[in-house]
Chains A and B, each alone.
Chain A
Amino acid sequence: MSIELLVEGEGLADVEVIRLPLGSAAREIVIAVAKKGGFSADEAVLFLEDADEPVDIAVAVIEEAHAGRIHHVHRLRQVEVEVFYKEQRIERRFRPAARVQRVLDWAVGPEGFKGIDPVIVPELELALHGTTKALPKNAHIGRYVQHHQPHLKLDLIRGVIPNGCP
């Protein structure tokens, strides 16, 4: 009997579905994503979305509960994130499985930038540094970094308020 799993990872542009046998070793998730991403599974680590610690693939087994989680496979253990806003810059390490939303929450939260007008906080977004297109909030930040480039530079931007009236 097999199970469908949702996965993100290094080299993947978006979340994907893989199918693996129930009861097989969690390492099979790493192998499957590494194959899709075009890298060796030997150095890769398995995370659950937004989790602080990696999954111990030496002991974990694929079970029904995995269908309710989103997995991430990456060769990086940490991503060095820098965020820029006006004249300020803040930095912190995140796991590659952290969603853009989690980085945004930190950037606009008590440990983030100072002096942001609370009224505009719900309108703020993150974009790749030097760009103006908001990143999808559900994307894992590992999507934007490679094994040899663990740094991710982002800008805190004000999202557009579309209004058809000129």
Chain B
Amino acid sequence: MSDPAQSAVTADLASARFRAGVTRKQWRVISYEHPILVVGVAAVEPDNATSEYALRFELTGFPGTAPEVLIWDAVVKAHLPANRRPKGSARVVEAFKDWTAPHPVYRPWERTSATHNNFAQTFPDLAWHAKRDLAFIMEDLHGLLSSNAARCGTG
């Protein structure tokens, strides 16, 4: 394993915070063949049903370069169409809207989104930098996708 990005990803996947999320069944690795990592993230739908969404990470240059992250159909291997994207509060809808090629998740830490209208500069607490790790993104994604539970009163 000579690619520093691959070494960094492997280290992140073995980190305590990433493993803690797996232990809690908040996320899981579906596949990893560098530079592509596909993870499943547990979700709660607005009707309180539990579900899971796949996210595809492109990790070239990681962690110096922010990950490109798409919400993914792991079966057909394409970005998830708009009508199958997560629903819920404004925060959820905004994060997973289908907005521009390559159809990335709309968060300040995401490679494409970060440069849109000074997104990363406006929200530094959510912006990517080389000291972040994959668990940081996973916690944000799981927080969003499980936030409907609060509305349902189940936590």
Interface residues of chain A, those whose CB is within 8 Å of chain B, are: 6, 14-17, 49, 67-70, 101-102, 104-105, 108-110, 118-124, 133, 136-138, 159-166
CA distance A160 to B107 in the complex (A): 12
Contacts of B107 in A (CB 8 A): 162
For A159, the closest partner residue in chain B by CB is B91
Q: Which of B21, B24, B90 is the one whose CB lies under 8 Å from A123?
A: B90
- Residue on B with the closest CB to A132? B125
Q: Which of B48-56, B71-79, B145-153 contacts A (4 or more CB under 8 A)?
A: B145-153
Residues of chain B lying within 8 A (CB to CB) of residue A123: 89-91, 147
Taken together as a complex, chains A and B put the C-alpha atoms of A14 and B94 apart, in Å, by 29
Q: Report which residue of A119, A133, A164 has the largest number of chain B beta carbons within 10 angstroms of its beta carbon.
A: A164
Write the residues of chain B forming the contact surface with A, with a CB cutoff of 8 angstroms. Answer: 16-17, 19-21, 23-24, 26, 88-92, 94-95, 106-108, 113, 116-119, 122-123, 125-126, 139, 143, 147-148, 150-151, 153, 155
How long is the Cα–Cα vector from A93 to B93 in the complex, in angstroms? 35
CB of A6 within 8 A of CB of B19, answer yes
In the complex, the chain A residue whose C-beta lies closest to that of B155 is A105
Closest CB pairs A-B (n = 3): A105-B155, A164-B119, A164-B117
Complex CA–CA separation, A59 to B76 (angstroms): 51
The answer for the CA separation of A165 and B90 in the assembled complex, in Å, is: 14
Instruction: List chain A residues, Cβ under 8 A from B153.
Output: 109-110
Distance between A140 CB and nearest chain B CB, rounded to angstroms? 10
A162–B123 CB distance below 8 A? yes
Q: Which of chain B's residues have a CB closer than 8 A to the CB of A102?
A: 155
- Known pairs A6-B23, A164-B116; A15 contacts B17 (CB<8 A): yes
In the complex, 12 of the A-B residue pairs with CB atoms within 8 angstroms, ordered by the A residue number, are A6-B19, A15-B17, A17-B19, A49-B24, A123-B90, A138-B20, A159-B91, A161-B94, A162-B106, A162-B119, A162-B122, A164-B116
- Residues from chain A with a CB closer than 8 A to the CB of B126 are 160, 162
> Considering only CB atoms, which chain B residue lies closest to A108 in the complex?
B150
Instruction: Decide if A122 touches B17 in the complex (CB within 8 Å).
Output: no
Cβ contacts under 8 Å, B148 to chain A: 122
Q: Shortest distance in angstroms between B151's beta carbon and chain A's nearest beta carbon?
A: 5
CB-defined contacts of A165 to chain B, threshold 8 Å: 117
Looking at the assembled complex, report how far the CB atom of A47 sits from the nearest CB atom of chain B, in whole angstroms.
Answer: 15
